[in-house]
Amino acid sequence: MIKQLKKWSIQLVTGANVATVIVMLLVGFSDRIHPADHPLLSTIGMAFPILLVINMAFLLFWLIFKWTRAWIPVAGYIFSYVPISIYMPINANVSHPDEALKLVTYNVCSFGGNYKYAQGFEKVRDYLIDEKADIVCLQEDNDSWRRYCFKHFEERGLAYNDTVVLCNDAMRFNCLGIHTRFPIIRRERIDYPTASNNGSAAWWLQVNSDTVIVVNNHFESCHLSQEDRQQYRQLLKGEIARDSVRAESQLLMVKLAEANAKRSKQIETVCDYVDQYLGRYPVIVCGDFNDNPISFSRHMMGKRLQDCFVETGRGIGLSYNQRAFSFRIDHVFCSSDITPYECFVDSKMDASDHYPVVCWLKIGVK
């Protein structure tokens, strides 16, 4: 009887592990799903890290109780190599050459200090100056429009500064900014119809003998209120009554799905803009994508450009630092005529709800 029960238990766990591997594969490649066609399905990429952990638990179980079945979770990881390498790449540490330029992209949360620093602007300003970056792309750069911060950057080597106001009304205000030591040749706002208080802009920079296009983005956010975020954390902890779990989960998924659908149109518009100039100019695309690594947004841009973190970064690289919503949602991409180096998320700088992403870029291939 005990032997039969043990055999039945092994079969049950085997089936559960196989099912987990299949779901992990489906979720890992869900970034191919167009959010406009399947809004809810397009959100499931957020579950990928959870499935990685569950599969690891199966691996430990097999190693302890029946090592001959360990091939199942190992095969799952092998078959999921592509999404795993996107979600948490492991690259050798290759130092950047002296001629590489340094780029920082950072959602500064309106220089508010993330409720930690009374002097939020000064904290961010000093960080950016200390980084000695050649190009700084900011989202929610809401002080630059008043030209208050321009003089600070001009005095410290970032001689060329510009801001695009994305929206300015009684309820909303948002800007994109660029601060650089390279002359700005021209600027273009990239218009897309689904924008509310988000947007994209391209700056053409004279980088030595090259004209480089830098596209700074702040794509559609998920519009989750503080109450939504708190309820989501309670869901994960099991602190919400069972009869309320389904309703709260559905509301959250609907909000995420609606944001994904809007964001898909925005990313496609920027991709169309990039397609016009690929092969003619070096192109850099960066900013707050408001989307995780296993997403349609990242996938669409990654089809055209190199994902600098995937190519040169290491680990998960969480750029959004709010609890229970820890994802890499800030990205840097570059065209094939640029070589990226040492892209990383600087988690030491916590004066926003985002961490900065830092990357070195050499114009020209290796």
The pTM of the full predicted model, rounded to 2 decimals, is: 0.91
* pLDDT tens digits for range 264-274: 999 999 999 99
Nearest to 361 by CA among 320, 325, 309: 309
By DSSP bridging, strand 135-139 and strand 160-168 are unpaired
* pLDDT tens digits for range 274-300: 999 999 999 999 999 999 999 999 999
- Cβ burial of 139 (10 Å; 0-12, 13-18, 19+) is buried
Which residues have C-beta within 8 Å of that of residue 252, sequence separation ≥ 6?
A: 224, 228, 231, 232, 235
* pLDDT tens digits for range 104-143: 999 999 888 888 888 888 899 899 999 999 999 999 998 7
Pair 43, 256: CB distance under 8 Å: yes
